[in-house]
């Protein structure tokens, strides 16, 4: 069954939002929100896309009109990268891919890959800015520095976590697998030399 696990036959599943946060140099900042809907669809948002006023802090430019960037994985198996500027959709044909439906996922699929440039971490929102279940990726314990970071979120068939690729060219690496949904959601934080 795709989407959320049912807790009983008579109660429908509830949506879940995960807010992934990173601890770096003793500070904790939100970095990614992943939402699983009751229909079994998945959405991933950089935190600033849900808080347009933060885009100016991250990019140095005004976010007017508001910018919404997210990826979605739909029941049909279609994966979309969507960008909206002031509510107007800017999607192109290259932003849609046909993949496995979430309920039939076999193995592992990349949901989103996004960078965080040197210095941007400090401009991200502190924990509590977005709603959802907060999950901490402890970059301090893996000796990360304030430099380029890569964040990757995957959809993972339960029991197939060993199939999640581990990048070869990284010095520092942290992973969390949220098993509250089917498929599971895995998020990696990586740093290259």
Q: Give 44-92 as a DSSP string.
A: EEEGGGGSHHHHHHHHSS---S-EEEEEEE-TTSEEEEEEEETTEE---
Percent of the chain scoring above 90 in pLDDT:
48
Q: Tens of pLDDT along 156-170?
A: 999 999 999 988 888
Residue 95 corresponds to which tokens in the numbers above? 């932003």
Nearest Cα to Cα of residue 144 among 116, 176, 185 = 116
Q: 53-57, 65-69, 80-84: which range is least confident on average? A: 53-57
Say if CB 135 and CB 153 are below 8 A apart.
no
| Chain mean position to CA 74 | 15
Nearest Cα to Cα of residue 20 among 8, 12, 31 = 31
Cα–Cα dist 23/36, whole Å: 24
User: What are the structural domain ranges in the chain?
Assistant: 16-191
* Element of type H or E holding 29: strand 27-36
Q: Tens of pLDDT along 93-120?
A: 557 778 888 888 999 999 999 988 898 8
What does the mean pLDDT of the chain come to?
82
Residue 42 corresponds to which tokens in the numbers above? 């998945």
Q: Tens of pLDDT along 74-88?
A: 999 999 887 776 666
Q: Which residue has the tokens 């079994």?
A: 40
Query: pTM of the prediction?
Result: 0.82
Can you give the pLDDT at residue 76? 92
Cα–Cα dist 96/94, whole Å: 6
């Amino acid at each position: 069954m795709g989407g959320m696990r049912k807790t009983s036959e008579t109660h429908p599943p509830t949506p879940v939002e995960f807010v992934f946060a990173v601890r770096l140099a003793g500070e904790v900042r939100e970095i990614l929100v992943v939402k699983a809907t009751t229909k079994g669809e998945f959405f991933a948002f950089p935190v600033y896309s849900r808080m347009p006023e933060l885009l100016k802090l991250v990019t140095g430019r005004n976010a007017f009109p508001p910018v919404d960037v997210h990826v979605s994985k739909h029941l049909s198996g279609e994966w979309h990268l969507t960008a909206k500027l002031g509510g107007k959709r800017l999607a192109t044909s290259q932003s849609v891919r046909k993949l496995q439906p979430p309920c039939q996922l076999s193995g592992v699929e990349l949901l989103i890959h996004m960078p965080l440039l040197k210095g941007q971490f400090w401009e991200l929102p502190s924990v509590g800015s977005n709603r959802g279940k907060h999950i901490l990726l402890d970059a301090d314990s893996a000796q990360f520095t304030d430099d380029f970071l890569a964040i990757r979120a995957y959809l993972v068939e339960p029991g197939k976590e060993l199939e999640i690729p581990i990048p070869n060219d990284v010095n520092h690496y942290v992973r969390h697998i949220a098993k509250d949904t089917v498929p599971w959601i895995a998020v990696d934080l990586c740093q290259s030399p």
